[in-house]
C-alpha cells in the first residue's frame, strides 16, 4: 500500500519541515523554548522522525521523544501552538487534506511524551 510518505515525496516533506522550523524559531509564543538549540540539527532530526512516522524509509536515529523533551517545560498551550503552526504550513504547501489530518493526528498521539506538568500549568 502506498504510504503517506510516498504520497508526499521526501523532498516535499523536507521543505515542509524546514519551513515549519523557520517559523517555530521566530514564533512569539514558543520561540523561547528553542533558544540555544541548533535549528539545522533539529530540522534534520525532525525530517527523519516525520519520514518514519509517515511510513517512509527509516530509521529515525535521534533521541527518543521522551528524552529529547524531558528538560523542557512544554505545556498544553505550547504543544497546541506548535500544532497550529504545523497546520498552517501544511495548508500553505497545499498538502492533501487527508494527509494533513493523518499527519496531525499521529503527532497529537505523541503529546503525552512531550507535554508535562500538572493541570495547573497546562
Task: Tell me whether residue 69 is annotated as binding.
Answer: yes
Structural contact between residues 16 and 89, judged by C-beta atoms closer than 8 angstroms: yes
Site of interaction with ligand HEM (CB under 6 A): 30, 33-34, 37, 42, 45-46, 49, 62-63, 65, 68-69, 72, 74, 78-79, 82, 107, 110, 114
Task: Find, among 91, 100, 13, the residue nearest to 49 by Cα.
Answer: 13
Q: Which is nearer to ligand HEM, 14 or 45 (CB)?
A: 45
Smallest separation, CB 26 to ligand HEM (Å): 13
> For 35, which DSSP code?
T
Binding site per annotation, positions for heme: 69
Amino acid at each position: 500500500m502506498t504510504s503517506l510518505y510516498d504520497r508526499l515525496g521526501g523532498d516535499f516533506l523536507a521543505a515542509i519541515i524546514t519551513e515549519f522550523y523557520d517559523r517555530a524559531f521566530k514564533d512569539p509564543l514558543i520561540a523561547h523554548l528553542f533558544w540555544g538549540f541548533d535549528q539545522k540539527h533539529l530540522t534534520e532530526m525532525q525530517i527523519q522522525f516525520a519520514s518514519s512516522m509517515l511510513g517512509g524509509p527509516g530509521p529515525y536515529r535521534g533521541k527518543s521523544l521522551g528524552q529529547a523533551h524531558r528538560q523542557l517545560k512544554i505545556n498544553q498551550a505550547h504543544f497546541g501552538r506548535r500544532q497550529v503552526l504545523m497546520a498552517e504550513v501544511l495548508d500553505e504547501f497545499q498538502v492533501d487534506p487527508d494527509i494533513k489530518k493523518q499527519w496531525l493526528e499521529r503527532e497529537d498521539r505523541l503529546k503525552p511524551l512531550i507535554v508535562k506538568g500538572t493541570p495547573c500549568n497546562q
